[in-house]
Amino acid sequence: MTAEDVGGERARERALLQAEKMETIGRLTGAIAQQFSELLGAILQRAAALAQSSPPSRDLDELKETAQRGAELAHKLLGFSRHKTLDLQPLSLTEYVREILDTLRRELPGNIEVQFEADEVGGVVEADPAEVRQILMSLVTNARDAMSKGGTLHVEVRRARLGAADRPLHAWIEPGSYVSVAVSDTGTGMNAATLARVFEPFFTTKPLGIGTGLGMAMVYGLVKQHKGFVHLYSETGQGTTAKVYFPAVYRRMPLEADSEETLPGGSEAILLVEDDPTMRSVAQGLLEKVGYRVLAAVNGEQGLATYRAHRAELHLVLTDVIMPKLSGFQLYESIRRDSATIKVLFMSGFPAPNYRKTVGLDAAVAFVTKPWTASELLARVRQLLECSPR
């Protein structure tokens, strides 16, 4: 077993433990929610009957409202515990998400900029439109709350293929074709303690009356019920990306059909600059497997030094954006002063509102969203290498 395999194995164990924990909480919550849902239903019925037979009363109105709030809570818990009956239908996710976002953006404060991006050819999934809307609303609400001082909300819909090569970064995957919806913000981000509990029902860091801690629990349950996955990527002070994968309707592929030989490769030399050791080793392993020669650097400064020592052989620089000391953008600026043509591919989990400001109309630059999938990263690398220099 290589170090990479051991790391992957650990990640899978952790994912499995986490899934088991969520299963148990889900069963318990589901049973409680079902009981309460019935009780509250009965209370609401009686209140309605009473309202018909007696004169108007404030107490009665408030009783109804309170019971209604209770019923909504129970409803959310049922979503988490996968006791919802889904109305599954073929759904073109790109159009649908764009539509929902158009209504949601009107409710967002003016200091939040909304961006939307999607593949030209969208993907079709089998999903319950009402629940997809619910999932998006929860994610967008969280993004809004995390950006109380304003920021950028970026929503991206992409077709994604997940295969064996993605195991190290996506421990939970079932290989196949998916359509992913990524909701990113430039807000507060989450620390490790929050990240570990974010899907638990009633886990909230918000003041009483603002959050109930059910949003992400519901997202988790609903996505699971759609046979999908949700992946979070967050850095304190930088932002958060929540990426939801829905299985694509057509073309569910067996593992073999999705192995490395279908991943695009090459023989060019690539400078990889990434401070996260897992990301770095996964990216390096992947690029080398498909034929590239890789020089790796652990931060921006080292990246620049490596670039200067090897500039003649390099074809492309693949760099993280947020790194201590020298950021990916600063690295880019230094490199551009030296070479006008070398290709630069940024990878980041968060929307970069100043990205176009930094790179202008530079066509030798592209962007890939973290956490990327193997096919996504390699396709982007190939595309950029093949686009003609200006």
Ligand X SMILES: Nc1ncnc2c1ncn2[C@@H]1O[C@H](COP(=O)(O)OP(=O)(O)OP(=O)(O)O)[C@@H](O)[C@H]1O
Residues that bind ligand X (CB under 6 A): 138, 142-143, 146, 185, 187-190, 194, 198, 203-206, 211-217, 240
Helices (H), the chain: 3-53, 58-80, 93-106, 129-146, 192-197, 215-225, 277-289, 300-310, 328-338, 355-359, 374-386
The CB-nearest residue to ligand X is 215
Q: Which is nearer to ligand X, 224 or 382 (CB)?
A: 224
Cα-based angle 191, 218, 102 (whole degrees, multiple of 5): 90
The CB-nearest residue to Mg ion is 215
Q: What minimum distance in Å lies between the beta carbon of 212 and Mg ion?
A: 8
DSSP state, residue 150? -
217 interface partner picked from ligand X, Mg ion, none, CB below 5 to 8 A per type = ligand X
Torsion of CA 286, 287, 291, 297, to 10 degrees: -130
Choose, by CB under 5 A, the member of 142, 225, 241, 375 that binds Mg ion. Answer: 142
Q: What minimum distance in Å lies between the beta carbon of 209 and ligand X?
A: 10
Q: Report the C-alpha gap between 204 and 65 in whole angstroms.
A: 24
- Residue 240, interface with Mg ion (CB under 5 A)? no
Q: Which is nearer to ligand X, 167 or 243 (CB)?
A: 243
- Residue 225, interface with Mg ion (CB under 5 A)? no
Q: What minimum distance in Å lies between the beta carbon of 386 and ligand X?
A: 36
Q: Binders of Mg ion among 197-216, rule CB under 5 A?
A: 215
What are the backbone dihedrals phi and psi of residue 293, each rounded to the nearest 5 degrees, phi first? -95, 125
Q: Which is nearer to ligand X, 174 or 202 (CB)?
A: 202
DSSP-derived 3-state class of residue 124: strand
Q: What minimum distance in Å lies between the beta carbon of 377 and ligand X?
A: 24
Q: Report the C-alpha gap between 292 and 296 in whole angstroms.
A: 12
206 interface partner picked from ligand X, Mg ion, none, CB below 5 to 8 A per type = ligand X
Q: Report the C-alpha gap between 22 and 40 in whole angstroms.
A: 25
Residues that bind Mg ion (CB under 5 A): 142, 215
